[in-house]
Structure 1
Amino acid sequence: MSPNRRSRTAAGVLAALTAASLTGCGAAGSTAPDGGIVITYNTPAEWGNYGAVLQAFTDATGVRAPNDPKNSGQTFAALQAEKGSPVADVAYVGIAFADQLVQADVLEPYAPAGTEEVSADLRADDGAWTAVHTGTIAFIVNEAHLDGAPVPTSWADLLRPEYEGKVGYLDPTQAAVGYSAATAANLALGGTLSDWGPGLDYLGALKANGASTSAQTATAKVAQGEIPILIDTDFNGYRLRDEGSDVSVVIPEEGSLQVPYVVGLVKGAPNEENGRRLLDFYFSHEGQALFAEGYMRPVTGDLPEELADTTLPQEDYERAATIDYVEQGAQQQGFIELYQSEVGF
C-alpha cells in the first residue's frame, strides 16, 4: 500500500478503539456535575489531531476545551508572564521546552494513570511533565507546485536552484518544531548539540535560496501551494494527505530527528481538577488512540498496524535519531542567539 494514499480502515480502527475505551478512561470518563472549562495552551485544531482530541474530551465529560493557536515558545512566554495569576490549566510543548518550564516553576507535578508505562527518559521523575506522543521531522511536499522539479529526498536537495523560494519551516526561535528542524539538519550534516556550525551554515544557505519562516503552524500554506515544501512533522503531512491534498512525506536521506511533545499541569491552574481530568484523558486508551489517528506515535503502545501501513516504511524512520532532549533544551537559548546573529529573517 502506498504511504501517500491512506487506507480507509483507519477510521474503523479508531471506532473500535474508542468504543472499547469510552467506559474505561478513568476520571476523564465521568460526568462533570457543573461542566465548566479547561484552558489549554498550544493546541491548534489543525495540529495533528487536537481538534478531535479536545472535542472527544468534551463529549465524554461535558467540560469545554477550546483549542489554542500558540506555539511552544509563545506558550512558555505566556506561562511566565501569567505566573502570578495563571490563565491556562494544561500546557503542551516540544520536549526541548520541558526543563525550561520546570526551571521557571510554572508546572505542578501530576502523573496520570498510564504514565508509568512511558519511557523514563520521556517523563520527569516527579510527574511535572510527560511525553504524550512523538513525531519525526520530515519534508511535506506539494508536488503540483514544484514547477516540474522532482520531490526532494535530502537536505542537500533543498539548496538546489529549482527549489528557490519553495521551502519553508517554522521560526526556530519560537516554535519547538522549528528548533527541532534546525537540530535535525545540524545533526544530519555533522553537527552536535554543542556545535551548531553545520546547521547554521545550512540554514543560511537555505535562506539565500529563498526559504521562508512562519511563527505558527503553516500546513495550510502547503495545501494552497504557497509553501510547496515545508520542513515540519510527518504527522502533519499525513493529515494533509487524508484531507485530500496531494502531498508526499519525505524523511531526508542524510537523517532526521524524532520529536517528543510533552504535557503538564500548570501550577496554580484556575480549573485544576478539569486540567487533571484532561491529562487523564490524554493518557487513556481513547486519548492515545485519537492521537494515533492523527499519526502521532503514541507513548503507550504502538501505532495501529492499519495506520502504520499508510505511512512511510519503518526503514525510513530508522534514519530519525533520538537525542538527549534535556541537553537540547539547555542549548536552545545559545542556538537562538547564534541563529539571530548568523541567519535571521
Structure 2
Amino acid sequence: MKGNHMKAVKLSAIVLAGGLLLAGCSSSGDEAANANANANANAGSEASGNQAASGNEAANEDNPSIEQLAPLAEQEGKLSSVGMPDSWANWKDTWADLKSKYKIEHTDTDMSSAEELAKFEAEKNSPPDIGDVGIAFGPLAEEKGLTMKYKTPFWDEIPDWAKDDDGDWIVGYTGSISFLCNNTLVDQCPTSWADVKAGAYKVAVGDVTKAAQAQHAVLAAALAFGGDEKNLQPGLDFFAELAKRERISKVEPSVPNIQKGEVEVALLWDFNALGYRDQIDAAKFDVHIPSEGSVISGYATVINANSKNPNAAKLARAYILSDEGQINLAKGYARPIRDSVKLPDDVSSKLIGGEEYANAKPIQDFKAWENALKELPNAWLEQVQANVK
C-alpha cells in the first residue's frame, strides 16, 4: 500500500489536495481510460525508444526520447522516489526494468501525497527525484514551484484532464469508483446505482469524513444523478435514503472484513476492488463500474525541480508511460492512461471491460472539489450518518 494511499488519501490526496486516489497510492488515499489495441505489448526497450522518438511529438532538447535519455540516466545511475513502493500498482516491475535495461538503482520511501510535497519542499540538499501523487496534488506542486517540466514522447496520447499543459505533472494510471460484491451473500450483484437502490443488502462506503475513497464514492453517486464536484447533494440524497432504510454498513470495507464475510457490497476504487477480489477469492466476488456514472481519478508523476538525477527521473516518467510501463501498472490492477496500449490477455482478463467506463467522468474543477470536501464531512454526518443504525 502506498502509505495507505490505496485506502484514501493519495489516487485523492488524489483528490483532495487536501484529501485520492482514496484509495491512493500510499497512505492516504486518492482518479480513466480503457485499454485497447495497437501497440506491441512485448516490445523491448529499443522498440519503446523508437516508438517514443517517432511517436506523437518529435523528441527535442526539452522533451528527449527514451533513447536520448538512456545514456544520461545510466551515468547518473540512481533514482529515489517517494510514494512509489514495490507493492503499489506493481511498481516493482518498473523498478526492475529500469535496473536491468538502464542500470539504474532505485530506492523509495512510502508516504502520502501531502507528505511527498512536504518532502520536496523541505529537502533541497538531498531531495527525492520523483513522486506519484493524487491528481489534485499535481497542480499544487506546480504552484509551489516544486516540479520539473517534461512532457515525454507520449504527450499527445494523454487526455487533457490528465496532464498539465507544460508537463509539470502527468497521470500515468487511473482509478474509478466501483462496486465490489460478495456473490455468496448477495442474490443479484449490482451493476448500477439503480440496482443498489432496489437491493436489500447493506453497502459499505467507508469513512466519508476523512477517507478520499469514500468521499469519491459520494461524488460518483452525485455524478450519476446529475450533480458534480460543485453539487454533491444528489449523492448525499442517495446515501441518505439508504441510511433511512438501514442499508449503510458500519463495517469498514477492508480486506480482513471482506475476507470474514462482513461486507456484502462495497464502494471502492476499481484497482482496490480487483486486487481484493484476487487476493481473497476471485470466484466469490463481482466487480463493476456503476453504469449510470462514476468518477475517474488518477495518480500523476511529479519530477522534483531540485532533482540530483533529473535524467533518470525523466526516463522513469517516460518508461512509466511506455507500453511496457503501462502493462506493468495494469498487472497491479491500475488502469493505463494510454488507450493504445495492448495488454496481454492474461493481464486484460483481470481488469474490468472498457465499455463499463463509458460514464466514468474526471473531475473538471479541482478548486470546487477542494471546497466541496471542506463541507462534505459535516453534511455526511448530518444527512447520512445520523440515520445509520
The partner residue of 1:60 within 75, 86, 101 is: 101
Q: How does 1:167-246 map to 2 (within 5 A)?
A: 167-169=204-206, 173=210, 175=212, 177-203=213-239, 209-211=248-250, 218=254, 222-223=258-259, 225=261, 227-243=263-279, 244-246=281-283
Q: Give, in whole Å, the separation in 1 of the partners of 2:269 and 2:342.
A: 16
State yes or no: 1:250 paired with 2:288: yes
Answer whether contact 2:77 2:105 (CA < 8 A) is retained. Answer: yes
Which is further off, 245-254 or 74-83? 74-83
Matches within 5 A, 1:29-178: 32-33=74-75, 35-41=77-83, 43-66=84-107, 69-70=110-111, 74-80=112-118, 82-85=120-123, 87-144=127-184, 146=185, 148-155=186-193, 158=196, 162-164=200-202, 167-169=204-206, 173=210, 175=212, 177-178=213-214
Q: Deviations over 1:185-232 (max 9, x none)?
A: 111122122212122334556677234568xxx557545645453322
**Which amino acid is 2:221 matched to?**
A
> 1:333 corresponds to which residue?
370
Please state if 1:17 is matched with 2:58: no
Which position in structure 1 is the counterpart of 2:299?
261
Calculate the TM-score normalised by the size of structure 2. Answer: 0.67
* Cα separation, 1, equivalents of 2:106 and 2:256: 23
Partners of 2:330 and 2:336 within 8 A in 1: yes
Give the letter for the 1:338 counterpart.
E
What does residue 286 of structure 1 align with? Answer: 324
Structure 2 gap segments, 5+ residues each: 1-36, 50-65
Deviation at 1:46, TM superposition (A): 4.1
3-state SS, counterpart of residue 163 of structure 1: coil
Q: 1:299 to 1:172 in 2, by over 3 A?
A: farther
Number of residue pairs the alignment of both structures matches: 317
Instruction: Give 1:125 shift.
Output: 1.6
Q: Which residue of 1 aligns with 2:52?
A: none
- Corresponding letter in the other structure for 2:224: A
Is the Cα contact below 8 Å between 2:176 and 2:360 reproduced in 1? yes
Q: 1:276 aligns with which of 314, 325, 332?
A: 314
Cα 1:82–1:259 change in 2 (3 A) is closer
Deviation of residue 252 (structure 1)?
1.8
State the AA in 1 paired with 2:164.
A
For 1:85, the aligned partner's letter is E
Q: Is the 8 A contact 2:209 2:380 kept in 1?
A: no
Is the 2:121–2:146 contact (alpha carbons within 8 Å) kept by the matching residues of 1?
Answer: yes
In the alignment, which residue of structure 1 is the partner of 2:380? 343
Provide Cα deviations, 1:70-101, integer angstroms capped at 9, x if missing partner.
3xxx3124413651325432222332333233
Q: Is the 8 A contact 1:95 1:262 kept in 2?
A: yes
After the TM superposition, which of the residue ranges 260-269 and 291-300 deviates more from structure 2? Answer: 291-300
Q: Aligned partners of 2:305 and 2:209: how far apart in 1?
A: 27
Structure 1 residues 65 and 141, CA gap change in structure 2 (3 angstroms): farther
- Give per-residue Cα distances to partners, 1:24-54, cap 9 Å, x unaligned: 442575573564342232x354443333333
1:299 aligns with 2:338: yes
Instruction: Give 5+ residue unaligned stretches, structure 1.
Output: 1-12
SS at match of 1:337: helix
1:318 pairs with 2:358: yes
For residue 32 of structure 1, give the secondary structure of its aligned residue in structure 2. helix
Q: 1:336 is aligned with what amino acid?
A: L
**Is this contact kept in 1: 2:329–2:336, CA < 8 A?**
yes
2:338 partner letter: V
The residue type equivalent to 2:317 in the other structure is L
**Would you say the 8 A contact 2:297–2:363 is kept in 1?**
no
Shift of 1:269: 3.1
Q: 1:286 to 1:335 in 2, by over 3 A?
A: same
Counterpart position of 1:10: none
CA RMSD of aligned residues (A): 3.6
Moved more, 187-196 or 51-60: 51-60
1:40 partner amino acid:
V
| Counterpart residue number, 2:14 | none
The two structures have a TM-score, normalised by structure 1, of 0.75
Distance in 1 between the 2:77 and 2:119 partners?
28
CA contact (8 A) 1:115 1:283 kept: no
| 1:236-270 per-position Cα deviation (integer Å, ceiling 9, x unaligned) | 33344455533211122332223233212123235
Residues 163 and 58 of structure 1, relative CA distance in 2, 3 Å threshold: farther
Q: One-letter code of the match for 1:262?
A: A
Cα deviation, residue 129, structure 1: 0.9
Write the letter of the residue equivalent to 2:179.
F
